[in-house]
Structure 1
């Protein structure tokens, strides 16, 4: 069966506001198997295609061909009393949400855990934040911080980072210092030990995800983690200074993919 159905399935799911898990449960398969459908990493069986045709109310032939059927969402009358379709744009979760308070809590938590390591400077922090955000989206199809990252020479850079640092400094929660890591200049951030850190914006699952990322990434040098980010599809497919698209995590190479996908 042609994999033209991959974008069709995702489009239909998003139009209806369904999660990947909801569709997977209707198909009686695992969520990871369903994600693999959308990413083109797993073929649909004919039986699964038939079920999807019933779920989305389109023909089996359209599913097989990947034919996108445009449904009229609502009708409105024009001045000439003609009925015209009004297209309602789908609410794509991949659009960065940029939760500022959550960003602050995540950054302070990271600095509290690993900020004292000699290799952890500004560049390394940029990449750790990037992988926390984009890996979470690949795993759960949801945004954690939802920050916007742009393509820079040394890898992804969070757009709002400087503003966050300024606000945290003004509130006395951290201090910026200049240092060196071997022969390279380095900007580090130290958390004020007298200021309590709040994690009210974070769920237990999100904290566990952050800890997992810190465990695997925090010992990398800036050069090593930058090189890893350069292999990641959202970064290398973007143009210079362009905001990275979360949706491209579903087209990652094996070196950066963190999803678990069932195989037939």
Structure 2
């Protein structure tokens, strides 16, 4: 049984709803619904949304899965390198980028990697918050980079600008393919207003299908149109 099927069954039992009732709400037969709970039948996006409503939960709750790489320390180190490489390739000509735009580039790289490889680049959990999608780790990472002198921060109007103190960026935790994807995404958005990338990410399915504060499942990006991944 897959994790999605397990969560569906758990939520149904917790609500005290019979398989017959759920099947009726979905407009399918009871045997078809049983196959869903057994993990042998896939749900369409519309069925998943309807099922979440029936079970009084969210799509992200049903699909959420924590991805763990080689441990928190390695995961954090890799995420720092993702940020620094997004900064290296995505900063404007003056070497600066808004803190919000930098977070967006890291998000796009992480989820675009999952779109192609069905595994995340960082393994961190992203949340749907106003500045997001962004992992809680992002804010701590920026503080760490600033305190260690790797980046500088300055206010420009209402924006916080980030710039690197060195031209090179560490890449020991990243594969050549990961670096290539980061560079492609960063170059695509280089020089464009922060508002544009914010609007872009907020019009993607991962953002639209989650409620404020919820974890955004990586799996949702696989349902996005290819031209709208980054």
Q: Following the alignment from structure 2 to structure 1, what is the Cα–Cα distance between the partners of residues 219 and 207? A: 12
| CA separation of 1:66 and 1:256: change in aligned 2, threshold 3 A | farther
TM (norm. structure 2) is 0.65
| CA separation of 1:252 and 1:165: change in aligned 2, threshold 3 A | same
Q: Determine the structure 1 residue equivalent to 2:176.
A: 204
| Bigger CA radius of gyration | 1
Root-mean-square deviation (Å)? 3.2
Q: Determine the structure 2 residue equivalent to 1:252.
A: 224
2:161 aligned with 1:188? yes
| CA separation of 1:178 and 1:148: change in aligned 2, threshold 3 A | same
Displacement of 1:255: 5.1
Q: Determine the structure 1 residue equivalent to 2:11.
A: none
The answer for unaligned runs of 5 or more in structure 1 is 1-7, 13-61, 71-91, 259-264
The answer for unaligned runs of 5 or more in structure 2 is 4-30, 40-62
Q: Determine the structure 2 residue equivalent to 1:240.
A: 212
Q: Determine the structure 2 residue equivalent to 1:169.
A: 146
Q: Determine the structure 2 residue equivalent to 1:104.
A: 80
Displacement of 1:235: 0.8
Q: Following the alignment from structure 2 to structure 1, what is the Cα–Cα distance between the partners of residues 81 and 177? A: 15
Higher helix proportion: 2
Q: Following the alignment from structure 1 to structure 2, what is the Cα–Cα distance between the partners of residues 256 and 197? A: 28
Q: Which structure carries more relative contact order (alpha carbon 8 Å, separation 6+)?
A: 2
- Residue 231 of structure 1 contacts residue 255 of structure 1 at CA under 8 Å; is this kept in 2? no
